[in-house]
């Protein structure tokens, strides 16, 4: 009987191809024939090692889970409770008093956008990790064969056998760190791309309010506006309609609205330098212009996932901490 031949990869290629950075983004994501784009299918195949996977995952259920965890966590932080059973348990976290001054609707919208972006980043990474698992399993199988050979006195291992597994664990740790660099899940900077987008939206909303109030009550034509609008609300009443801006509205007569808007953004997002805050806002504008002309590769590659996450977010998941 003629035996079937296989194209077996070399040991060197087995190790190199297991690197998550070379596999990330390769799984195909596709729309399922459902009414809403909230459950997606995915497939990948590695014929060289005989692995073919095709399954589906629910973006909606994952969004609900992350949202529930987030708001439970936020509630514990608000109540100054210890964050047990989480990677944050050894870290002291408390609410920024400046953030508590922001409007609740703005706060809720911003916090939900964090969930939305985090899920858009983590789902592609989940698929990339799935594709890397078969290669890692084969490496562990190779290690097991070597240890069995040593136990049966076919080979001699000098030093401790534990060093083999320690080296494997160290390699996996290094791979995990590289995985986190694929997306921005491992954020070491305060001003990342996501934070800049939030700052830009908050700045533009604040500028719109301040600009209108400045023009109406303190601009060169404010007297004319008041004469033409006899039922115009008083300045005190106008301020009361924007409690989130209470700290800066009293300064509006003598200050530029842009300067006050930057101050408000810095207070809400925890940035002490107004100059640096405005610099990040300008960078966000440039990033928005570039993205409108040409979406980044990651967005093109996983635009189906991002659209599905957006669809879930638009449904308005309720706050589950009540």
Please give the helix or strand (H or E) that residue 51 lies within, else none.
strand 51-58
* For residue 8, pLDDT beyond 60: no
Residues 288, 97: Cα–Cα separation, whole Å: 30
119-178 pLDDT, tens digit per residue, is 887 888 888 788 778 877 888 888 888 888 988 888 888 878 788 878 877 777 776 666
> What is the average pLDDT across 293-302?
56
> Of 192, 224, 213, nearest to 256 (Cα)?
213
Is there a contact between 217 and 232 (Cβ–Cβ < 8 Å)?
A: no
179-238 pLDDT, tens digit per residue, is 655 443 334 345 777 778 888 999 999 999 999 888 888 887 878 887 888 788 888 888
pTM, two decimals, is 0.54
Residues 38, 63: Cα–Cα separation, whole Å: 10
């Amino acid at each position: 009987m003629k035996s079937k031949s296989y194209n077996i990869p070399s040991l060197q290629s087995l190790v190199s191809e297991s690197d998550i950075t070379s596999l990330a983004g390769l799984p195909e994501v596709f729309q399922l024939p459902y009414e809403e784009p909230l459950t997606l299918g995915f497939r990948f195949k590695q014929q060289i090692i005989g692995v073919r996977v095709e399954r589906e995952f629910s973006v909606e259920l994952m969004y609900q889970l992350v949202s529930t965890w987030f708001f439970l966590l936020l509630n514990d932080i608000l109540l100054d409770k210890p964050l047990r059973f989480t990677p944050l348990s050894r870290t002291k976290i408390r609410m920024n008093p400046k953030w508590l001054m922001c409007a609740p609707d703005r706060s809720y919208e911003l916090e939900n956008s964090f969930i939305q972006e985090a899920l858009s980043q983590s789902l592609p990474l989940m698929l990339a990790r799935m594709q890397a698992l078969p290669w890692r399993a084969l490496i562990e199988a190779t290690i097991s064969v070597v240890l069995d050979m040593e136990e049966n006195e076919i080979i001699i291992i000098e030093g401790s056998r534990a060093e083999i597994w320690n080296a494997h664990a160290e390699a996996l740790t290094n791979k995990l760190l590289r995985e986190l660099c694929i997306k921005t899940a491992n954020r070491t900077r305060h001003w990342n791309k996501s934070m800049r987008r939030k700052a830009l939206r908050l700045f533009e909303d604040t500028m719109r309010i301040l600009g209108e109030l400045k023009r109406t009550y303190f601009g060169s034509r404010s007297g004319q506006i008041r004469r033409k609008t006899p039922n115009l609300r008083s300045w005190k009443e106008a301020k009361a309609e924007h409690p989130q801006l209470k700290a800066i509205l009293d300064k509006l007569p003598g200050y530029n609205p842009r300067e006050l808007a930057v101050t408000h953004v810095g207070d809400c997002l925890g940035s002490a330098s107004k100059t640096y805050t405005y610099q990040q806002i300008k960078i966000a504008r440039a990033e928005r212009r570039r993205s409108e002309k040409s979406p980044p590769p990651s967005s093109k590659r996983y635009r189906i996932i991002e659209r599905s996450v957006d669809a879930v977010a638009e449904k308005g998941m309720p706050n589950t901490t009540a």
